[in-house]
């Protein structure tokens, strides 16, 4: 009994923390908790932080908040209702974009997440009288494409009739090799991607914690996230999703994660506020979980099994593209990322407040 008592006494000892360090970590935790799209009463947040203490783990703090508070209403600050897309004058057909005039044209095409530029260097006919165009890329590789594929990858891209509306935008966070971006690119989307690895194929190589979404070039219609097992990265993901949802109410999201589960307080709150549903999919021998606010996609993927992640990405891209097309989202004007005037220089990410209304 004596040894056991000594052991317990050692456990009860708390490491001394510098007051300034403690204050900074406490304020950091409060700042990230505000990224959840709801308002927690300040006294409950302070009480939870007091109980958890340094280093203020977000999962533990959120658990204490949920024990003390009732279900908080979701609050997405919609800046304005999307306006109908205003088509410009109808485009006149350009003879140079026909299949008869493709030799010498420049194309850009993505391979495994990386963009390559090439030139159409010749044309031939197959035994079944089908035309094929030989494209030679900057790395020396060559491939044969039919005329419609060449036109699809022309650079600069051919104009499309404005009556078809705008292009959709996807954003892939923690993108890595950009498998998802590749799939949406093949559907004719504008694709943006973020990863902090300099060797990744992401279009923006930056730590997600340093991103101010109000300074991005465009607002996504769809977000795919493969977050690491880190609470601060998770909350920053929630912040970006909340920003996009406030700009585009039709936003669809997919979170791919074998780590975050419903019994985790942060995930529980995220699922609640974004109305997420879960489906288990298998990439070869690797099972993972997808969380999405698109119920039809959940039903569609319940029986999904493939040897390659790219097959799942292509399935999601086709399904999401079909929904947005049928819902005529392309006929809604795209929102701008910022509020008020466009930021000129990069600023620190603003603290998220759900009490203040956004300016138009």
Break the chain into its structural domains and give their ranges: 15-68, 95-152, 162-331
pTM for this entry: 0.75
* pLDDT for the residue 57: 92
**Which tens digits make up the pLDDT trace of 2-54?**
444 444 444 445 567 788 999 999 999 999 999 998 888 899 999 999 999 99
Write the CATH number of the domain with boundaries 162-331: 3.40.50.150
**Which tens digits make up the pLDDT trace of 297-339?**
999 998 777 767 778 899 999 999 999 999 999 999 999 998 7
* pLDDT for the residue 284: 66
* pLDDT for the residue 355: 46
* pLDDT for the residue 357: 41
Distance separating alpha carbons of residues 317 and 184, to the nearest angstrom: 5
* pLDDT for the residue 81: 64
Instruction: Tell me, letter by letter, the H, E, C secondary structure of 30-52.
Output: HHHHCCCCCCCCHHHHHHHHHHH
Distance separating alpha carbons of residues 354 and 232, to the nearest angstrom: 19
SS3 at position 190:
strand
Instruction: List the pLDDT tens digit at each of the 360 positions of the chain.
Output: 444 444 444 444 556 778 899 999 999 999 999 999 888 889 999 999 999 999 999 999 999 998 988 777 777 766 566 777 765 544 444 444 455 678 899 998 877 767 889 999 998 888 877 788 999 999 999 999 888 788 778 877 666 677 778 899 999 999 998 889 989 988 889 899 999 998 888 889 999 999 999 989 999 999 999 998 889 999 999 999 999 999 999 999 999 987 777 788 999 999 999 999 999 888 767 788 999 999 999 999 987 777 677 788 999 999 999 999 999 999 999 999 987 656 554 444 444 444 444 444
For residue 115, what are its two tokens?
Answer: 């963009």
**Residues 6 or more apart in contact with residue 19 via CB below 8 angstroms:** none
Write the CATH number of the domain with boundaries 95-152: 2.30.30
DSSP state of 13: P
Distance separating alpha carbons of residues 351 and 31, to the nearest angstrom: 6
For residue 205, what are its two tokens?
Answer: 């190589």
> How far are the Cα atoms of 67, 220, 354 from residue 79, in angstroms, in the given order?
32, 15, 12
């Amino acid at each position: 009994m004596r040894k056991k008592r000594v052991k317990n006494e050692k456990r009860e000892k708390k490491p001394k923390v510098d007051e300034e360090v403690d204050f900074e970590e406490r304020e950091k935790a409060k700042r990230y908790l505000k990224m959840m799209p709801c308002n927690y009463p300040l006294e409950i947040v302070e009480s939870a932080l007091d109980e958890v203490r340094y280093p203020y783990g977000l999962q533990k703090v959120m658990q204490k908040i949920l024990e003390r508070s009732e279900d908080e209403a979701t609050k997405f600050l919609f800046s304005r209702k999307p306006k109908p897309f205003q088509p410009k004058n109808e485009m006149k057909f350009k003879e140079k974009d026909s299949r008869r005039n493709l030799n010498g044209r420049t194309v850009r095409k993505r391979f495994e997440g990386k963009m390559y530029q090439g030139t159409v260097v010749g044309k031939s006919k197959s035994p079944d009288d089908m035309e094929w165009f030989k494209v030679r890329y900057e790395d020396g590789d060559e491939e044969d494409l039919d005329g419609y594929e060449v036109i699809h990858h022309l650079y600069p891209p051919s104009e499309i009739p404005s009556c078809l509306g705008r292009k959709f935008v996807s954003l892939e966070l923690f993108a890595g090799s950009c498998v998802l971006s590749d799939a949406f690119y093949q559907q004719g989307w504008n694709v943006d991607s973020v990863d902090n690895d300099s060797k990744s194929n992401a279009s923006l190589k930056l730590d997600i914690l340093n991103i101010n979404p109000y300074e991005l070039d465009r607002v996504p219609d769809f977000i795919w996230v493969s977050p690491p097992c880190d609470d601060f990265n998770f909350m920053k993901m929630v912040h970006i999703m909340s920003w996009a949802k406030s700009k585009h109410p039709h936003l669809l999201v997919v979170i791919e994660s074998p780590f975050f589960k419903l019994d985790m307080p942060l995930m529980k709150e995220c699922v609640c506020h974004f109305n997420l549903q879960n489906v288990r999919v298998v990439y070869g021998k690797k099972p993972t979980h997808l969380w999405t606010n698109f119920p039809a996609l959940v039903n569609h993927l319940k029986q999904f099994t493939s040897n390659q992640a790219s097959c799942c990405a292509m399935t999601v891209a086709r399904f999401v593209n079909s929904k947005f097309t049928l819902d005529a989202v392309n006929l809604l004007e795209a929102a701008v990322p910022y509020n008020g005037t466009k930021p000129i220089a990069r600023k620190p990410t603003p603290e998220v407040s759900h009490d203040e209304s956004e300016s138009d």
